[in-house]
Structure 1
Amino acid sequence: MSRYELTVEKDACDGIFACLTRDPRFVEGADGLATIDPDADPIYDCDGDVVDTAERVVATFDDDRIDEARQAAAACPTDAIAVREVNE
């Protein structure tokens, strides 16, 4: 399993939501932009730490779903999503 961090830069997000179809942890936030909700996944019981500020959403996960996160980032036409592995 990998420990990785997902970041959504809110100033770059246009609310196109291509990420939602690649990874169900991405959802539409109250502000109309993409955010991350580990509980939104209907299939996997997912644990993650999510910090949502005015500038960005940062979520850290320790599971084997980094490829889904990378697919969501690649689908974002505004490059608002970044995925990076975290070494402890």
Structure 2
Amino acid sequence: MTRYEVSVEKDACDGIFACLTRDPRFVEGEDGLATIDPNADPIYDCEGDVTDTPERVVAAFDDDRIDEARQAAAACPTDAIVVEEVGE
């Protein structure tokens, strides 16, 4: 499976939450901006490593759901979300 990273740039996020409807791992954070919670998806038992700093949220996954993450990134009107493959 492909390993990939999903990052949310907090300065660019406006809290529009178009990403939430494309990928349930995206949730509203305490700061009112989008964040990533691998445990938020009630359908999949998802695991991922999440780092949350004042500048960005970065999550690494090695599942087959990269297309959902890409759809969430494409739906973001402020281009705050980036999805990158980082290996196999």
> C-alpha displacement at 1:87, in angstroms?
2.1
Alpha-carbon distance in 2 for matches of 1:2, 1:39: 20
- Name structure 2 gaps, 5 residues minimum: none
User: What is the aligned partner in structure 2 of residue 42 from structure 1?
Assistant: 42
**TM alignment of 1:1-88, pairs within 5 A:** 1-87=1-87
Q: Structure 1 unaligned segments of length 5 or more: list them.
A: none
Which whole-Å deviations, capped at 9, do the CAs of 1:43-71 have from their partners, x for residues lacking one? 00000000000000000000000000000
What's the CA shift for 1:2?
1.1
Q: How high is the sequence identity, in percent, across the aligned residues?
A: 86
Q: Secondary structure of the residue that 1:59 maps to in structure 2?
A: strand
Partner AA of 1:73 in structure 2: A
Q: State the TM-score, normalized to the length of structure 1.
A: 0.98
User: What is the CA RMSD across the aligned residues, in angstroms?
Assistant: 0.7
Q: What is the aligned length?
A: 88
Which TM-score applies when normalising by structure 2? 0.98
Query: Which stretches of structure 1, 4 residues or longer, exceed 4 Å deviation after superposition?
Result: none
